A and B are shown apart, each in its own frame.
Chain A
Amino acid sequence: MQRDVGSLPLSPALRARLLAAGFQTAQELLETGPCGLSKEIGISREEALEALQVVRQECAGDAAKTAGGSGSTRKCTALELLEEEQTQGFIITFCSALDNILGGGVQLTKITEICGAPGVGKTQLCMQLAVDVQIPECFGGVAGEAVFIDTEGSFMVDRAADIATACVRHCQLIAEAHQEEDHLQALETFSLESILSHIYYFRCRDYIELLAQVYLLPDFLSEHSKVRLVVIDGIAFPFRHDFEDLSLRTRLLNGLAQQLIIIANDHKSAVVLTNQMTTRFGQNQSMLVPALGESWGHAATVRLIFHWDNTQRLATLYKSPSQKESTIPYNITLLEGSQEYQDVSRLTSKFTGNLCPFLLVPVLHSFCPSC
């Protein structure tokens, strides 16, 4: 397919001259050559050379993309996709009700978005997922590594260590119950140190850093090919403050969404984003909706909305290509050996924004799938 002259990134005056002279496709331009071009349009040789350089670059870029340079356009039948999906694992969240409404857990190669008011448990779920992605395959996990991109600074290492310890403890209990060879073998490499060393943490302070990080992520992922989860905690935060040009924001977000889809598909990893909530004014009432606007809603394939109902936390699956819309209640509990301690009332005072890691013990209550 030929590129139209009108769609090439040349200066408008030059474009107008080319169109008036009758050139239509990029191929015709390249065939004419700089001398012919400068004669026909009446520009200098140097300008013609420059213009042809730009055209050549564009066409080379297009050719590389369409030839499947990075596998960005993949062609396959639905049957092949079905087989792939059935062999793919899920990243479990250790909350059985949540796993049920998601259809087994967080799906690989899809973008999942978690929206919620402050304090409802989004970052905690992200940390839980960063640990859960590393569960070995014999225990039902994906045995991958995680990339955690933090924009709000809410990642607490001691929190993650607690979660990791609880997860290891959990797997040890399963191994004791079943006593299989591969379980014990896997447990040797599954320890607190290995879990924490396989969470790659990036801190981005503004939207430019975030965009740069996401666009450079494919190179990072090709070096670390075991990464199966990319978490961006707080995608709304850098885009919501200090942004005057809203149309620029929409464009940047759309480009970011496409890049995340490429990452999810090429590297077979799940992408999890967290979003904030904002108020929208309807006719008579106002309601809480996810931030970043209507167009951002299309970026995620699966959307989970966490909200409160008095003192009960609820999770709603709002958008999913394969599961029905449903709402489930969940709690945030502490699992420490055999002690269970539910402190929901203290968590309701969290809207002050001060997270005390010792009171807040958010390991979502576990329900071991194989017990």
Chain B
Amino acid sequence: MAAGVVWVALKGHPLGVTRHHCSVGGPMGMLRAVCPHGPPWYPRVRYGTPWVPIPSPHRSLRFHPRSAPSHSAGAMVVLRAGLCPGLTEEMIQLLRANNIRTVVDFVSSDLEDVAQSCSLSYKALVAVRRVLLAQFSAFPTNGADLYEELKSSTAILPTGNPSLDQLLDAGLYTGEVTELAGAPGSGKTQVCLSIAASVSLGLRQHVFFLDSTGGFTASRLYQMLQARVEDKEEQVESSAGPLKAVLIDSVSAVLSPLLGGRQSEGLAIMMQLARELKTLAKEFSVAVVVTNQVTRDSSTGALKSALGRSWSFVPSTRVLLQGRAVPWEDGAAPHTACLAKSPRQPTGMQVQLDIGSDAVQEQRPVTPTP
């Protein structure tokens, strides 16, 4: 709908881009696939033919029931019998004899030449190509459609802590991965419990809490829930909502033994996990919250999130929690939260968090994007 080219790339992790969106100016609109970090992709622009969507690493779930939702190098998928109907073993052998081994080779080659050299029917080849494109490529949509889609699918979940909501620009956005990092004792588990309490009680939706540290205490959660509910009769309604929040308390506890040293697979496993989390958030419209540790920067001595630079691209919002450095001395500094990375708010914003007060929070009206 927009006249010019509106280029909105939803950023995935460094190894892939989830979807390309662009509005086509005209029948010869060029689709330039820009993937700065990914596998070698090249723009395939052919004049004279209707534009060809470029094979993307993201395969939509509905087309291919067998595929995993995320792939690191979808463009490099080898042609195999059964990949799509109409692609038989003999076809593959003939194509291979002509040096066409992967999907990209097939889709970007001139089908008339292929039909001649492999002595296959042109129609069959065109049919196969159509199916492969439908499976492997990304379809562009324009910015307005994207906006409409986001308006209906994204929700903002309140965290139960008004100052944290202020920091996160009204709450946790579904479809995104948010990270809470902090030193031990800074309140990460408490914030996660508070989010779980607020989402399950306030919004009546299921929460999935994955605990890898042993810090989940059901009695504390119960305490928080009791503090929030004004009258007990409200509790009778059972929660029927779908899953909207996935909380992972300490992703670094399980990943840090794998990183470093001579194990190069650790990084690959970490990135696979990152891909799965982001796809989970996007496809099922849930808000994923992960907790991370902090390390000291060797040069400046400041605290920064653990798991290294590769992980720092994964969450779209990062909050650094800080408690007291030496709690047994006087001069209690309260817990603070500082915004380290955000697509919506200026970084460096700092608020004071009120962890551990069981005062009744005033019920926040749920504000989904209208």
Q: Do A and B bind each other?
A: yes
**Residue ranges of A at the interface with B (Cβ–Cβ < 8 Å):** 1-4, 6-9, 12, 19-25, 78-79, 81-82, 84-86, 109-111, 247-248, 250-251, 254-255, 257-258, 261, 264-265, 282, 287, 289, 294-295, 297-298, 300-301, 303, 305, 307, 314, 316, 318-319, 321-322, 324-325, 327
- Do B256 and A251 touch (CB < 8 A)? yes
Assess whether B229 is interfacial by the CB under 8 Å rule: no
- Do B214 and A19 touch (CB < 8 A)? no
Known: A25-B68, A321-B190, A327-B328. A82 touches B222 (CB 8 A): yes
**Which of B73, B77, B183, B212 neighbours the largest number of chain A CB atoms within 10 Å of its CB?**
B73
- Do A297 and B184 touch (CB < 8 A)? yes
Assess whether B242 is interfacial by the CB under 8 Å rule: no
Report the Cα distance A294→B196, complex, angstroms. Answer: 27
Q: Which residue of B lies closest to A257 (CB)?
A: B253
29 A-B pairs, CB-CB below 8 angstroms?
A3-B272, A4-B268, A6-B268, A7-B268, A24-B71, A78-B221, A81-B216, A85-B219, A248-B260, A251-B256, A254-B253, A254-B256, A254-B257, A255-B257, A258-B212, A258-B254, A261-B212, A282-B325, A287-B329, A294-B184, A297-B184, A297-B185, A298-B252, A298-B253, A301-B213, A319-B184, A321-B215, A321-B220, A324-B356
Return the 5 tightest CB-CB contacts between A and B, nearest first.
A297-B184, A22-B78, A82-B218, A319-B185, A7-B268
Contact of B293 among A85, A295, A321 (CB under 8 A): A295
Beyond known contacts A255-B257, A318-B328, A319-B184: 18 more, CB 8 A cutoff: A4-B269, A22-B78, A22-B102, A24-B71, A24-B72, A81-B216, A81-B218, A85-B219, A86-B219, A261-B214, A294-B184, A294-B295, A298-B213, A301-B215, A314-B328, A316-B327, A321-B193, A322-B223
Assess whether B359 is interfacial by the CB under 8 Å rule: no
Assess whether B145 is interfacial by the CB under 8 Å rule: no
List chain A residues, Cβ under 8 A from B216: 81, 321
Q: How far is the CB of A149 from chain B (nearest CB, A)?
A: 19
- Do A303 and B265 touch (CB < 8 A)? no
Report the Cα distance A12→B264, complex, angstroms. Answer: 9
Report the Cα distance A251→B271, complex, angstroms. Answer: 18
Q: How far is the CB of B39 from chain A (nearest CB, A)?
A: 9
Report the Cα distance A171→B12, complex, angstroms. Answer: 63
Q: Which residue of B lies closest to A289 (CB)?
A: B326
- Do B220 and A298 touch (CB < 8 A)? no
List chain A residues, Cβ under 8 A from B326: 287, 289
- Do A2 and B68 touch (CB < 8 A)? yes
Can you list, as one digit per residue, whether each of B339-367 has a CB less than 8 Å from chain A (1) or not (0)?
A: 00000000000000000100000000000
List chain A residues, Cβ under 8 A from B257: 251, 254-255, 258
Q: Which residue of B lies closest to A2 (CB)?
A: B68
Assess whether B134 is interfacial by the CB under 8 Å rule: no
Q: How far is the CB of B182 from chain A (nearest CB, A)?
A: 10
Assess whether B217 is interfacial by the CB under 8 Å rule: yes
Report the Cα distance A250→B293, complex, angstroms. Answer: 13
Report the Cα distance A289→B221, complex, angstroms. Answer: 30
Can you list, as one digit per residue, whether each of B64-78 has a CB less than 8 Å from chain A (1) or not (0)?
A: 000010011100111
List chain B residues, Cβ under 8 A from A300: 184
- Do A305 and B328 touch (CB < 8 A)? yes
Report the Cα distance A321→B218, complex, angstroms. Answer: 10
Q: Which residue of A lies closest to B39 (CB)?
A: A19
Q: How far is the CB of B290 from chain A (nearest CB, A)?
A: 14
Assess whether B135 is interfacial by the CB under 8 Å rule: no
Report the Cα distance A30→B68, complex, angstroms. Answer: 16
- Do B327 and A325 touch (CB < 8 A)? yes
Assess whether B276 is interfacial by the CB under 8 Å rule: yes
**Residue ranges of B at the interface with A (Cβ–Cβ < 8 Å):** 68, 71-73, 76-78, 101-102, 183-185, 189-190, 193, 196, 209, 212-223, 250, 252-254, 256-257, 259-261, 263-265, 268-269, 271-272, 276, 293-296, 306, 325-329, 356
- Do A6 and B294 touch (CB < 8 A)? no
Report the Cα distance A237→B261, complex, angstroms. Answer: 23
Q: Which residue of B lies closest to A76 (CB)?
A: B218
Known: A258-B254, A301-B213. A1 touches B68 (CB 8 A): yes
Report the Cα distance A163→B101, complex, angstroms. Answer: 76
Q: How far is the CB of B96 from chain A (nearest CB, A)?
A: 10
Known: A7-B268, A251-B261, A257-B253. A297 touches B183 (CB 8 A): yes
List chain A residues, Cβ under 8 A from B213: 261, 298, 301
Q: Which residue of A lies closest to B292 (CB)?
A: A298
Contact of B214 among A109, A248, A319, A325 (CB under 8 A): A109
- Do A318 and B327 touch (CB < 8 A)? yes
Q: How far is the CB of B264 from chain A (nearest CB, A)?
A: 7
Report the Cα distance A316→B73, complex, angstroms. Answer: 52
List chain A residues, Cβ under 8 A from B68: 1-2, 25
List chain A residues, Cβ under 8 A from B209: 78
Q: How far is the CB of A117 from chain B (nearest CB, A)?
A: 12
List chain B residues, Cβ under 8 A from A8: 265
Q: Which residue of B lies closest to A309 (CB)?
A: B328
Known: A86-B219, A287-B326, A321-B189. A6 touches B214 (CB 8 A): no
Q: How far is the CB of B237 from chain A (nearest CB, A)?
A: 16
Report the Cα distance A251→B217, complex, angstroms. Answer: 27
- Do B73 and A19 touch (CB < 8 A)? yes
Q: How far is the CB of A339 from chain B (nearest CB, A)?
A: 33
List chain A residues, Cβ under 8 A from B190: 321
Q: Which residue of A lies closest to B69 (CB)?
A: A1
List chain B residues, Cβ under 8 A from A322: 217, 219-220, 223
- Do A294 and B214 touch (CB < 8 A)? no
- Do B77 and A307 touch (CB < 8 A)? no
Report the Cα distance A23→B78, complex, angstroms. Answer: 7
Report the Cα distance A4→B268, complex, angstroms. Answer: 8
Known: A1-B276, A297-B184, A301-B213. A78 touches B269 (CB 8 A): no
Q: How far is the CB of A26 from chain B (nearest CB, A)?
A: 11
- Do B272 and A22 touch (CB < 8 A)? no
**Which of A3, A250, A322 neighbours the largest number of chain B CB atoms within 10 Å of its CB?**
A322
Q: How far is the CB of B271 from chain A (nearest CB, A)?
A: 8
- Do A24 and B77 touch (CB < 8 A)? yes
Report the Cα distance A4→B209, complex, angstroms. Answer: 25
Report the Cα distance A251→B258, complex, angstroms. Answer: 8
Q: How far is the CB of A41 from chain B (nearest CB, A)?
A: 11
Known: A297-B183, A298-B184, A322-B219. A247 touches B214 (CB 8 A): no
List chain B residues, Cβ under 8 A from A282: 325
Q: How far is the CB of A348 from chain B (nearest CB, A)?
A: 18
List chain A residues, Cβ under 8 A from B356: 324
List chain B residues, Cβ under 8 A from A85: 217-219
Report the Cα distance A251→B76, complex, angstroms. Answer: 34
- Do A303 and B184 touch (CB < 8 A)? yes
Q: Which residue of B lies closest to A58 (CB)?
A: B265
**Which of A86, A324, A325 neighbours the largest number of chain B CB atoms within 10 Å of its CB?**
A325
